[in-house]
Amino acid sequence: MSHARDQFLIKLYHLSNRELATIDRYEVGKELNLRKEETDAIVDELSSRERITTMAGTTIMLTPDEKKILDTEWRRVNE
């Protein structure tokens, strides 16, 4: 997976306060200085790999499995 996709997941994790919460995909993309087309491509790929779930409109959220992975990494780095 590319660096941009990893950064997108990490940013989504932090913007959702490390919870399973919905966030607008373009808010995440804006934080990473991505164009809408780049954001859409990343969301499509992450969704097809079942790492995020797309909701109504432009909202997305981490899958429970992806959140567990990021929780583990966050604890490893911050403990």
Sorted by sequence, the CB contacts under 8 Å of residue 42 that are 6+ apart come out as: 4, 5, 8, 29, 34
What pLDDT is attached to residue 1? 47
Model-level pTM?
Answer: 0.92
Q: What is the largest CA-CA distance in the chain?
A: 37
| Residue 77 to residue 60: CA distance in whole angstroms | 25
pLDDT tens, residue by residue, 7-47: 999 999 999 999 999 999 999 999 999 999 999 999 999 99
Q: Is 18 left (phi over 0), alpha (psi -120 to 50) or beta?
A: left
Q: Going from the N-terminus, what domains does the chain have, and what CATH number goes with each?
A: 3-70 (1.10.10.10)
Q: What mean pLDDT comes out for the span 39-62? A: 96
